[in-house]
Structure 1
Amino acid sequence: MVPDPKRKLLEAAIDHVARNGVGDLSLRTLATAIGTSHRMLIYHFGSKEGLLVEVVREVEARQRAVLAGLDLGADRPPLEIAREFWRHLTGEALRHNERLFFELYGQALQGRPGTTTMLDGIIDDWLAPMAELLGRLGVDEADRESHARLGLAVTRGLLLDLVTTGDVAGVTAAMDRFLDGYAREALT
């Protein structure tokens, strides 16, 4: 099967952003870096912002796939599973993508053209898979959505702290405190 040209460009853009970030990257510079023209990027994504929103959406989808693929073996404590996912999220490989997420999130909230579609599903796309995981861990159905929403808010808040400060140890200590306090009650 011939790879979809748009998908191929998206994958190249994701790799480039993961390695280099975006900073003041222009569409022309990005196109050159990934071996295409800015016209092809505009054709497939509409604008630089449209491309970056697609990068964020794909990276988010990949993170949900990691969450869904966590080993929930009967002998694994739920807090160990949560910490494994946290270690994944705080890995250096995701740092540029996390910065991009928060940069575009802020722009979308301000209504910047080309970014507002990022808000579609930015919360809800996470609630169902997190609630499903919480169910597999034994959380009562009536409590799953509120636990999922709280977990998402704490995680995003600490990831914003991480991209701001670079303090992996500090945000991990804060996540450990959250898990040991609130989440222990819900997951054990």
Structure 2
Amino acid sequence: MSDDSATSDRAGRRDVLAEAAAELVLREGLGTMGLRGLARRLGTSDRMLIYYFGSKDTLVTGVLARIGEKLSVLLQAYSAGPPVSPGAFLSQVLMLGRDPVVMPFMRVWTDVIARAAAGEAPYDMVAKKVVADWTAWIGTRLIPDPDRPCPPAALLSIVEGVTLLEMACPGSTTEAGPWLAEALMRADGRVG
């Protein structure tokens, strides 16, 4: 086997493992990222995971990158159309966060941010990119209002808070999301 073929085989196997790990994390959460347990669940060994990824941190960042790619594909459908007011955006995103297809992604990113807040590597570095990407995307979805600009991080803070509370106590935010969105729409001057 040539060096190019071996490198290609290794990259292909790494991709297969990253995809399988991403699906596992989306189903069961970041708690599945323990090296030995993850390796067992993927039908390999922890040594082989290190062989394919180089380090546990590279494995984690690779799996989270794969999850981010999947979410980007999902969000493309929600990125079309005209920009909306902050209140309308919040209403749409909170409803989207309850979608069974999107909910696992929300849980993972909220867990990444919580782990980053605790200073856990490599989540601390991943969270910086996640927050930057989310706030940039939110900024593209908002109607520009030079008189009353809404910082995208304000909306992200609400979404993350609602998601975290829902993760901790399922069903507790059923009324909170619509109330917050309506309050923001009132502030936007769009609700009577």
Same fold (TM over 0.5): yes
CA–CA distance in 1 between the matches of 2:21 and 2:66? 11
1:85-116: CA deviation from partner (whole Å, max 9, x where unpaired): 43332244555554444444333333334333
Q: Alignment partner for residue 15 of structure 2, among 7, 13, 22?
A: 7
Q: Are 2:25 and 2:32, in contact at CA under 8 Å, matched by a contact in 1?
A: no
Which residue number corresponds to residue 183 of structure 2? Answer: 181
Q: Alignment partner for residue 32 of structure 1, among 35, 40, 64?
A: 40
1:4-40: CA deviation from partner (whole Å, max 9, x where unpaired): 4333211101111223334476312212222333223
Shift of 1:126: 1.1
Q: Which amino acid is 2:22 matched to?
A: I
Q: Alignment partner for residue 120 of structure 1, among 128, 133, 149?
A: 128
CA–CA distance in 1 between the matches of 2:32 and 2:74? 30
| 1:162 equivalent in alignment to 2:166 | yes
Which residue number corresponds to residue 94 of structure 2? Answer: 86
Where in structure 2 are the equivalents of 1:20-99 lying within 5 Å? 20-23=28-31, 26-70=34-78, 83-92=91-100, 98-99=106-107
Q: Are 2:107 and 2:167, in contact at CA under 8 Å, matched by a contact in 1?
A: yes
How many residues are aligned here? 181
CA–CA distance in 2 between the matches of 1:142 and 1:61? 35
Q: Alignment partner for residue 139 of structure 1, among 134, 144, 169?
A: 144
Could you tell me which runs of 5 or more consecutive residues in structure 2 were left unpaired when the two chains were aligned: 1-7
Please tell me whether Structure 1 or Structure 2 has the larger radius of gyration of its CA atoms.
2
CA–CA distance in 2 between the matches of 1:58 and 1:187? 40
Q: Which amino acid is 2:154 matched to?
A: L
Could you tell me which runs of 5 or more consecutive residues in structure 1 were left unpaired when the two chains were aligned: none
RMSD of aligned residue pairs (Cα, Å): 3.6
CA–CA distance in 2 between the matches of 1:46 and 1:29? 17
1:57-89: CA deviation from partner (whole Å, max 9, x where unpaired): 443444344333227557x99977754543332
Which residue number corresponds to residue 106 of structure 1? Answer: 114
| TM-score for the superposition, normalised by structure 1 | 0.71
Q: Are 1:49 and 1:114, in contact at CA under 8 Å, matched by a contact in 2?
A: yes
